[in-house]
Amino acid sequence: MIPVSLTIKGLYSYQKEQHIDFSKLMEGQLFGIFGTVGSGKSSILEAISYALYGDTERMNRNDNRSYNMMNLKSNELLIDFIFDNYDNNRYRFLVRGKRNSKNFDKVGTLDRNAYKLVNGQWQPLESASGEEIIGLSYDNFR
C-alpha cells in the first residue's frame, strides 16, 4: 500500500481539518512521522487503521469508539484516506460521523465506505474491506 493523501477532521487532537499529501513525502520512498508527545502522530496512524479496518489499537472493544475518537469540541468526524494498492489501483476509504446535537455523549455510528478510482471516477465498492484490498489482516497491519 502506498499512501497518497489523508484528510482528517474532528479526530482526537485534530479539531480542524488537516490534509497530508503523502505523494510529496514518498518522493524519497521513505518517510517518518515526527513530533512532540501529544502532537497527534499516533492519531494519523489510528485514522488510517480505522479507515481500512474499522478498528483501532487505542480503543478497547467495550468502549464507545465513536464518542472516544471524536474531538470533544467537534460535532463531526471525517477521515478521508486515498492510497494505491499492490496492483497500482487507487482506492479511497471515507469515514464520517456526527455528534447528536441534543445529547453530547451520543455519536451516531460512523459510516465507512470504500471506493475504487475507475476512469477518473470514484466507484463505490460493495465491501469496505481493507484486508481484501491491501492483502493484510488487521492484526498484521497493526
Q: 60 pLDDT exceeds 50?
A: no
As a whole number, mean pLDDT of residues 48-77 equals: 75
Q: Indicate if the pLDDT at residue 64 is higher than 60.
A: no
**pLDDT of 89 strictly over 80:** yes
Nearest-CA neighbor of 115 among 133, 136, 137, 91?
Answer: 91
Q: Tell me the pLDDT band of 24, cut-offs 50, 70 and 90.
A: confident
Confidence of residue 55 (pLDDT cuts 50, 70, 90): confident
d(CA 95, CA 89): 20
pLDDT band at 3 (very low <50, low <70, confident <90, very high): very high
Phi, psi of 88, rounded to the nearest 5 degrees: 65, 25
Ordered by where they begin, the domains of the chain are 2-141 (3.40.50.300)
pTM: 0.86
From start to end of 1-142, where are the E strands?
2-9, 18-21, 76-84, 90-98, 111-118, 121-124
